[in-house]
Amino acid sequence: MYYAAVIPLLLCLATQAWARYMCPTKCTCYLDQKGRRAVLCKEGGLVGPLNLNNVSLDTEVIKITAPDDNMNELTMSPVFQSYKKLEEIHITKSNVPQLGMHFFWGLTKLDVLNLSQNNITQPLDHNFRGLSKLKELYLDDNRIISLPSGTFRFLHELKVLSIQRNRIEELTPRIFLEVAKLRVLKLSGNHLRELNPEVFKDVQELRSLECRGCALTKLNNEIYHLLPHLTHLDLGDNEIKTLQPEDFRDLTNLKHLKLDGNQLTSIVNSTFIHQPMLKKLNLARNHIAKVSPDAFTNAYNLTELDLGHNELKNLEFLRSVADTLEILVLSGNHLKLHALRVLSEMTALKGLHLSGCGLADIHSPIFSSRLNMLDLSNNHLSSLQSEVLPSNLTELDISSNRFRGISEEVMRLLDNANNIKLENNMWSCDLCHIVPLLDRVNRSTSFREVTCSAPFAVKGKKLGAMKKNELSWCTVPSYPMSDADYFLVARDGKVGLMIAGTSVVLLVLAICGVIAALCYSRRHAAKYYTHEDQLAKEGESIFENNHSPLFCDGELSFKFPLDHGDKKISIATIDEIKKEHCITNGT
Ligand SMILES: *[C@@H]1O[C@H](CO)[C@@H](O)[C@H](O)[C@H]1NC(C)=O
Ligand SMILES: *[C@@H]1O[C@H](CO)[C@@H](O)[C@H](O)[C@H]1NC(C)=O
Ligand SMILES: *[C@@H]1O[C@H](CO)[C@@H](O)[C@H](O)[C@H]1NC(C)=O
Ligand SMILES: *[C@@H]1O[C@H](CO)[C@@H](O)[C@H](O)[C@H]1NC(C)=O
Ligand SMILES: *[C@@H]1O[C@H](CO)[C@@H](O)[C@H](O)[C@H]1NC(C)=O
Ligand SMILES: *[C@@H]1O[C@H](CO)[C@@H](O)[C@H](O)[C@H]1NC(C)=O
Ligand SMILES: *[C@@H]1O[C@H](CO)[C@@H](O)[C@H](O)[C@H]1NC(C)=O
């Protein structure tokens, strides 16, 4: 009563101090970014009918929410009617079970009503009566089972309607009656199974439609006929199996299309022939094995294409977008190097994702020179040559591969890169592998965080904690190639053979091993001498520790992926010799 009496007086003053004075305990009152008076109550634990005691009548924004472990238990009550200035109401995480009749009556300035994360089961048209200016309505994460025809018919100005993650199984005819100005409709996470074209007759101005995870099995292209202005369409995580050549015929304004997480197996000729504006296309996580060479003709504006986690083998279709595509995701497709050759023709490409593609070696130049961002993580790579790397990289991800070191040339190429991911490799912290990285260790945390996995003495140590004079000469590799599983190389350099085959195979491999050992140790000894000279010249202090180069551990299986320049050393790892000379016919 006392407050009711002083309100008019203080309203006249209308000072900021007033807003601070009239603030419910456990809430904060402030001016928001747009300079509006806002009240935020987010501590939770509120129980019973909603009340706005101590909330000033000229409040423009009300936000009532709660932390996950202390949700409110509110019921709605007709408290808003004297708050004529309200522009936004957010009552979320409050377990509100239903909305009362005409409770928002008279809020002619209300723009945004957010009732997400409550327990509403059935909104009715009279709940929203009087909200003649409402532009955005959010009812996400409730328990709405059905929406009767005309539920939103008093919301003539509604532009955004979001009813995601409820329990709606059917869109009733005329559900969108009289919301003809609707631009954005979000229905994701409702088990709808199909979209009835009939209901979209009322919302032909739609620009954006989302129905992700709606259990849709097919598309009815009559819908698109009704929605010619659509620019964004998200139908990801459904069960769509096929796209017909001209399915999207009517969507000539489409800019972003998401069909990721469906069950498509191929993209046929002319699928996107009517989408000259298409910029971003997401087809990730399907079972696409084949894309017609003409699938993207006319997609002049396609700049981002995600085909990750499909079953692609052939990439010839990329030729038709070679001049425009800027970002391409092919991660999670098992791709052969020869299939990737087409990438070198993609002159506009800036970002390329080839994570988890089963790549073991990249020896021919497949990257266009303009590439800035390259993701090669989760492959089986053990070395990169500077000739194949694009010269302008700013971002490189080679985490989760089999790198033991990076050569000086490659490091020099990367000196302008600002984001290099290196973790989870087989970094050998010895003089043969890690020096170029160690020299730059202070450049970034990702270098300092590089964790040595060999030699044993420094295993687990971070590069940031290493000193150059701690480095030992060379270490035993674990086999980097994927077919190395046939061998187990013991730390002391003995080659133990684990053969998953017949004893015949064992014999053949053993002979190969001997030949390899012989050839290799000869070349290798020579190599050590040259290295010794070179290093002595450079004044390296490698002789300070006990490892004499001539008695390098595990010389038999030694590998130099990083030798600078001169001749290509024939790297005599056993598995390569095996590959070249022995079991070419299939194991
Ligand atoms: C309203 O403000 C008064 C005085 O500051 C306070 O005693 C009372 O607890 C407040 N009530 C609520 C619901 O915040
Ligand atoms: C609506 O409320 C939810 C839950 O608090 C919040 O995550 C969401 O961002 C809000 N939406 C808008 C448009 O403010
Ligand atoms: C939501 O409402 C239903 C009844 O409609 C009730 O059984 C359930 O307990 C409510 N959920 C919570 C979290 O209060
Ligand atoms: C795709 O369709 C166009 C016109 O319908 C045709 O000219 C072209 O040869 C077709 N391409 C393929 C690969 O079938
Ligand atoms: C799409 O491509 C056409 C032809 O190249 C071009 O004229 C048009 O401006 C582009 N539109 C957009 C939105 O980029
Ligand atoms: C590399 O980037 C610079 C500046 O971003 C640019 O001037 C140069 O043309 C680029 N080089 C290549 C080969 O794309
Ligand atoms: C990196 O920085 C540390 C501390 O500032 C310094 O002791 C170390 O010598 C630097 N390492 C290199 C390779 O510059």
- Please give the angle made by the CA atoms of 436, 437 and 440, to the nearest 5 degrees: 95
Please tell me what DSSP assigns to residue 478: P
Residues 299, 317: Cα–Cα separation, whole Å: 12
Q: Tell me, using a 6 A CB cutoff, whether residue 441 lines ligand 7.
A: yes
- Tokens 């993701």 found at: 375
Query: Ligand 2 atom 14: the closest Cα is on which residue?
Result: 114
Encoded tokens for 416:
């302008």
Residues in CB range of 59: below 8 A, 6 or more apart:
19, 29, 37, 38, 39, 83, 85, 86
Tell me the CA–centroid distance for residue 41 and ligand 2, in Å.
14
pTM: 0.76
Among the residues of 421-564, which ranges form H helices? 435-438, 445-448, 503-538
Q: Tell me, using a 6 A CB cutoff, whether residue 282 lines ligand 2.
A: no
Residues 90, 137: Cα–Cα separation, whole Å: 10
Q: Label residue 316 left, alpha or beta by phi (over 0 means left) and psi (-120 to 50 means alpha).
A: alpha
In 3D space, the residue among 460, 483, 456, 461 whose CA is nearest the CA of residue 472 turns out to be: 456
In 3D space, the residue among 306, 313, 309, 363 whose CA is nearest the CA of residue 336 turns out to be: 313
Q: Tell me, using a 6 A CB cutoff, whether residue 400 lines ligand 2.
A: no
- How does pLDDT run across 347-358, given as a tens digit for each residue? 999 999 999 999
Tell me the CA–centroid distance for residue 144 and ligand 5, in Å.
42
Query: Ligand 4 atom 8: the closest Cα is on which residue?
Result: 294
CA distances from 44 to 74, 139, 216, 329, 561 (A): 10, 20, 37, 43, 60
In 3D space, the residue among 330, 310, 309 whose CA is nearest the CA of residue 318 turns out to be: 330
Residues 494, 497: Cα–Cα separation, whole Å: 9
Q: Tell me, using a 6 A CB cutoff, whether residue 444 lines ligand 3.
A: no
Which stretch of DSSP H or E encloses residue 394?
A: none
Of ligand 1's atoms, which has the minimum distance to the CA of residue 27?
14
Residue among 20, 40, 53, 72 to mutate when testing ligand 1 (max atoms within 8 A of CB): 53
Tell me the CA–centroid distance for residue 272 and ligand 4, in Å.
13
Tell me the CA–centroid distance for residue 249 and ligand 4, in Å.
16
Residue 486 contacts residue 575 (beta carbons within 8 Å) = yes
Tell me the CA–centroid distance for residue 472 and ligand 7, in Å.
19
Q: Which residues pair with 112 in a beta bridge?
A: 88, 136
CA distances from 251 to 204, 222, 426, 484 (A): 12, 11, 50, 51
Give the chain's residues under pLDDT 70.
1-21, 475-587
Residues 173, 567: Cα–Cα separation, whole Å: 75
Of ligand 7's atoms, which has the minimum distance to the CA of residue 442?
1
Residue 202 contacts residue 226 (beta carbons within 8 Å) = no
Q: Tell me, using a 6 A CB cutoff, whether residue 90 lines ligand 2.
A: yes
Q: Quick count: other Cβ atoms within 10 Å of Cβ 20?
A: 12
CA distances from 575 to 341, 453, 518, 534 (A): 26, 21, 15, 29
Residue 164 contacts residue 140 (beta carbons within 8 Å) = yes
Half-sphere exposure of 111 (CA within 13 A, CB side): 6
- 10 Å CB burial of residue 245 (0-12, 13-18, 19+) is middle
User: Which fold is adopted by the domain 1-96?
Assistant: 3.80.10
- 10 Å CB burial of residue 465 (0-12, 13-18, 19+) is exposed
Q: Tell me, using a 6 A CB cutoff, whether residue 196 lines ligand 3.
A: no
Q: Tell me, using a 6 A CB cutoff, whether residue 28 lines ligand 3.
A: no
SS (H, E, C) 10-26: HHHHCCHHHHHHCCCCC
> What is the residue extent of each domain of the chain?
1-96, 431-491, 499-584
Return the beta strands (E) in 307-443 as ranges. Answer: 327-329, 351-353, 373-375, 395-397, 419-421
Q: Which residues pair with 41 in a beta bridge?
A: 64
Q: Tell me, using a 6 A CB cutoff, whether residue 425 lines ligand 2.
A: no
CA distances from 454 to 404, 437, 487, 521 (A): 9, 15, 18, 22
Q: Tell me, using a 6 A CB cutoff, whether residue 392 lines ligand 6.
A: yes
Please tell me what DSSP assigns to residue 551: G
Q: Tell me, using a 6 A CB cutoff, whether residue 502 lines ligand 1.
A: no
- Tokens 């020096």 found at: 435
Q: Tell me, using a 6 A CB cutoff, whether residue 43 lines ligand 1.
A: no
Encoded tokens for 187:
């229905």
Residue among 435, 439, 441 to mutate when testing ligand 7 (max atoms within 8 A of CB): 441
Q: Tell me, using a 6 A CB cutoff, whether residue 162 lines ligand 2.
A: no
Residues in CB range of 401: below 8 A, 6 or more apart:
376, 377, 378, 379, 380, 381, 382, 424, 425
Tell me the CA–centroid distance for residue 126 and ligand 3, in Å.
22
Tell me the CA–centroid distance for residue 535 and ligand 2, in Å.
63
Q: Tell me, using a 6 A CB cutoff, whether residue 2 lines ligand 1.
A: no
How many residues can be counted in the chain?
587
CA distances from 579 to 156, 370, 509, 554, 576 (A): 72, 35, 10, 21, 5
Q: Tell me, using a 6 A CB cutoff, whether residue 119 lines ligand 3.
A: yes
Query: Ligand 7 atom 10: the closest Cα is on which residue?
Result: 442
Q: Quick count: other Cβ atoms within 10 Å of Cβ 43?
A: 15
Assign 38 to helix, strand or coil.
Answer: strand
One-letter amino acid at 2 equals Y
Q: Tell me, using a 6 A CB cutoff, whether residue 97 lines ligand 3.
A: yes
Residue 553 contacts residue 479 (beta carbons within 8 Å) = no
Q: Tell me, using a 6 A CB cutoff, whether residue 347 lines ligand 6.
A: no
Q: Tell me, using a 6 A CB cutoff, whether residue 572 lines ligand 7.
A: no
Q: Tell me, using a 6 A CB cutoff, whether residue 416 lines ligand 6.
A: no
Residues 282, 260: Cα–Cα separation, whole Å: 6
Largest CA distance in the chain: 102
The residues lining ligand 5, judged by C-beta closer than 6 Å to any ligand atom, are 276-277, 300-301
pLDDT on residue 545:
38
One-letter amino acid at 417 equals A
